[in-house]
Amino acid sequence: MKKVSARWSDCLVVMCDHRRAPGAPKPSCGHHGAEELRAWFKAQLALQGLWGRIRVVTASCLDVCPASGVALSIQGVRGDQTLRVIDPHEDRQALLEEMTALLEENV
């Protein structure tokens, strides 16, 4: 096993984008705007010069499966390792503000 340094330095946002087949008994984040949320979030981080300190990646499943919203976790040096379910439209600005504040607190 070899340890390597990550390109991101402060935290990693892991966002579920799993898509179950239509009619599946459990819901999935991929059908609730996960891809759009990830693209928006990455663009906002780049605009604010935070891309590189924060990295956004997708996961195939975080085993939360909300009826609506997207499951995500904030990991790494600045992350709190808790799972969250956010509305990809209503909560995305609050997520960005939280991440910005987190980085400002820990400069």
pTM score, two decimals? Answer: 0.84
Residue 10 token pair = 């402060």
| Across 50-69, average pLDDT | 89
Is the pLDDT assigned to residue 50 strictly greater than 90? Answer: no
CATH number listed for the domain at residues 12-105? 3.40.30.10
* DSSP-assigned beta bridge partners for residue 16: 59
Q: What is the three-class DSSP state of 41?
A: helix
> Domain coordinates of the chain in residue numbers?
12-105
Is the pLDDT assigned to residue 106 strictly greater than 80? Answer: no
- pLDDT band (50, 70, 90) for residue 107: low
Specify the pLDDT at position 17. Answer: 93
Specify the pLDDT at position 79. Answer: 66
- Whether residue 49 contacts residue 31, with contact meaning beta carbons closer than 8 Å, is answered with no
| Across 32-49, average pLDDT | 93
